Amino acid sequence: METRVSTTLPTSPRPRWRRRLITVLAVAGPGLIAANAGNDAGGIATYASAGAQFGYRTLFFMVLVTVGLVVVQEMCARLGAHTGVGLGALIREQFSIRVSGFALLCFVVANVGLVVSEFAGIGAALQLLGVSRYVSIPAAAVAIWGLVVFGSYRYAEKIFLVLSLAFLAYPLAAMLSHPDWREVGTQLALPHFVGSKDFLLLGVALIGTTITPYMQFYVAAAVADRGIGPADYARERVDTVAGAIFADLISIFIIIATATAISDRAPLDSAAQAAAALEPVAGPFAAQLFGLGLLGASALAAAVVPLSTSYAVSEAVGVESSVSRSFRQAPLFLGLFSGQIVLGAAIALIPGNLIQLLVQAQVLNGLITPILLTYVLILANRRSVLGKAANGPVFRVVATMCVAVVAILSATVLVQSVLGWFGQ
């Protein structure tokens, strides 16, 4: 009896791997994008400053911040999925005009601070490449304004995203710099806080750059815009939680790499110092690699953040909001965008330390964050908004504690700042 040998290869493994790849790509969505948006110019500078100034001592604080980010982002994604609208619309529907107006004002102020930090990031990035800030910032402002207003921003966005990938070198740099892993583990697991005003200010800056209002407004709106409903939320929840954890792991590696590379415990004086942490990966080209990454992250956010403000305000007052419209068709929308670009670039041109300006902008963000988080918490607790998907007893306690801790830290910094004005 003749034995027939099959000449065809088994086909089952290919569909299995294909299904797995499709599943992974499907899970990556608004939550991952929103969380990684926090690793912009201000975020990189703040994490690098934390490592340079306090070594590994902020690592445990970052673990707590990560828990807070997961909780907050999950609530916002759930609100978007179960209501079908973004935070701006929910706040307008659920609160009075005055209360809604106050929330919108806080959001605008927070975003203006972010726009300033992004242009400061552009200036710091191009200084590493030998270009004066007084040339680079105005040129970048005109270029970004033109790209958005004349509709060619989508192409530039891809370039900015590719440049931003340079910061993925930080985890590798942290490994190659041979840190004291025993100390790193201890600092991650146990609190080693420093009882000083500088540490508290930096802590609030870390909150402001990690749990930034822009991310919360974005994830809720993006989930709603993609049509992700209650039936699909289980998968989106994985995306949101995983995205928050991944983004903060990158942040932790930035702190580790910078703390190991810089032994002189002091605030960063320049972007070149922050770039030094990438030397184990890029060697003599560390400054250029850092500069390109900072340029991409800054330019991307310098366009997206003011756009988010323009969308929020225009939608709140019910006027045209689209980059495809002309100034005559959408005067408020494009006027707000243009005004933020001009204001952000002008403030970033003020003489001073660009890295410290980046950090100070995150402190401002940290002071405003608990106000907007309170709105999110109230909305997520209301059964009239979410029904059975509203926060349960345990989650409500955890979320309330996260918002309360952020509020207490912000209030403490605010009180210290006010007392400092009076010389106390």
- DSSP string for residues in 296-345: HHHHHHHHHHHHHHHHHHHHHHT----TTS-TTTSHHHHHHHHHHHHHHH
From 406, 397, 396, select the one nearest 373 (Cα to Cα). 406
pTM equals: 0.82
> Above 50 in pLDDT, residue 268?
yes
Q: What pLDDT was estimated at residue 14?
A: 45
Q: What pLDDT was estimated at residue 272?
A: 82
CB 84 within 8 A of CB 229: yes
Average confidence (pLDDT) over 259-285: 84
Average confidence (pLDDT) over 210-216: 84
> Above 80 in pLDDT, residue 368?
yes
> Above 70 in pLDDT, residue 52?
yes
- pLDDT category at 410 given cuts 50, 70, 90 is confident
* Spans of all domains in the chain: 29-259+267-382+389-421
Name the maximum alpha-carbon separation found in the chain: 102
- Alpha-carbon distances, residue 208 vs 38, 99, 110, 156, 409 (angstroms): 9, 22, 9, 27, 11
Average confidence (pLDDT) over 197-207: 87
Q: What pLDDT was estimated at residue 230?
A: 92
Cα 365 to the center of its chain, rounded Å: 11
Q: Residue 210 is encoded by which pair of tokens?
A: 């990690």
CB 56 within 8 A of CB 183: yes
Q: How big is the chain, counted in residues? A: 424
Distant-in-sequence, close-in-space partners of 13: CB < 8 Å, separation ≥ 6: none
Q: What pLDDT was estimated at residue 33?
A: 64
- pLDDT category at 85 given cuts 50, 70, 90 is confident
Distant-in-sequence, close-in-space partners of 143: CB < 8 Å, separation ≥ 6: none
- pLDDT category at 363 given cuts 50, 70, 90 is confident
Residue 5 DSSP symbol: P
Top-level CATH class of 29-259+267-382+389-421? mainly alpha
Lowest-pLDDT choice from 30-44, 273-287, 319-333: 30-44
CB 281 within 8 A of CB 289: yes
Q: Residue 61 is encoded by which pair of tokens?
A: 């604080």
Average confidence (pLDDT) over 391-398: 94
> Above 70 in pLDDT, residue 12?
no
Average confidence (pLDDT) over 78-84: 92
